[in-house]
Amino acid sequence: MSAALEIEGLSVAYARKGLALQDVNLSVPKGGIVALLGANGAGKTTLIRAVTGLLDLHHGAVTAGQIRFGGQSMLGVPAHKRVRLGMGQVPEGRLVFKHLSVEDNLRVGADILPRGQLHEGLEAVYTLFPRLRERRQQAAGWMSGGEQQMLALGRAMIGRPQLLLVDELSLGLAPLIVKDIYKQLRVIGETLGTTMLVVEQNARLALDFAESAYIIAGGRIAFSGTSAEIAASPAIQQSYLGGAAELPAGEEAAR
């Protein structure tokens, strides 16, 4: 199976903090779901910033290596052009526009769609998340954390991305809400064939969802394999995840 996203020998440095990623190799097959696991500060979010082209906003830069999306090098390609090429992101912390209505937030995500497809895009999101339809005129800042996460996902999906990057979806949310959102993510993968790279601290949750996973530690890929292999190995969990994959699903998200 050909790769939607290929990362080869990637190194990233920040102006004040130095090297954050070193010689990272990672591949996400077309239509596949891959998890990126690791502790806080391991380099997960830095890798996502490198893929989406947002490193410069955080005073970071690629110092070596290559990032290819759909076979095309992304080095030097601005973030907004990467979106138009088919990348979508659900950022850590959701980052919805709290003063805008739910529908206006979705319209921001739909900016890359031809005008004639806006209604169709909105309907697709509202079908996936009926709660957003109910609150479409409500200011996003007045919604619960779970509803804002649904909105962030809907905003990313309305542009019909080929590759969806999801950063810490479960952070700060109750387990039942997280389970519901991941269920919708699975529907997206199965019905649309959307390729996904999921960054998640809740290792058990991620391994249940993804087909394969990479574990990052200290800015390097420490292990990669199928989700079943990692879930079946207490040694890997203890060495790189602090035993996190042994936790009941959703426990970390509730902390």
Q: pLDDT digits over 23-61, tens only?
A: 999 999 999 999 999 888 889 999 999 999 999 999 999
Query: Binning pLDDT at 50, 70 and 90, where does residue 143 land?
Result: confident
CB-count burial class (<10 Å; 0-12, 13-18, 19+) for 157: buried
Does 119 fall in a domain? no
Contact 196, 227 (CB under 8 A): no
Does 240 fall in a domain? yes
Does 193 fall in a domain? no
Number of domains in the chain: 1
Contact 12, 59 (CB under 8 A): no
The predicted structure's pLDDT at residue 248 = 32
Does 94 fall in a domain? no
Residue 250 scores a pLDDT above 70: no
Residue 211 scores a pLDDT above 90: yes
Residue 128 scores a pLDDT above 90: no
Residue type, 161: P
Query: Across the chain, what does the average pLDDT equal?
Result: 86
Residue 194: strand, helix, or coil: coil
Does 80 fall in a domain? yes
Q: What predicted TM-score, i.e. pTM, was given to this entire model? A: 0.85
Show the DSSP H helices in the chain as ranges.
44-52, 79-85, 102-109, 118-128, 130-134, 145-157, 175-192, 203-209, 227-231, 234-240
248 DSSP 8-state letter: P
Residue 249 scores a pLDDT above 50: no
CB atoms within 10 A of CB 12: 22
CATH of the domain at 239: 3.40.50.300
Does 10 fall in a domain? yes
Does 190 fall in a domain? no
Q: What is the residue range of 40's domain? A: 1-86+205-245
Q: pLDDT digits over 168-191, tens only?
A: 888 777 888 888 888 888 888 888
Contact 206, 37 (CB under 8 A): yes
What span, in angstroms and rounded, lies between the C-alpha atoms of 86 and 92?
A: 19
What span, in angstroms and rounded, lies between the C-alpha atoms of 196 and 22?
A: 23
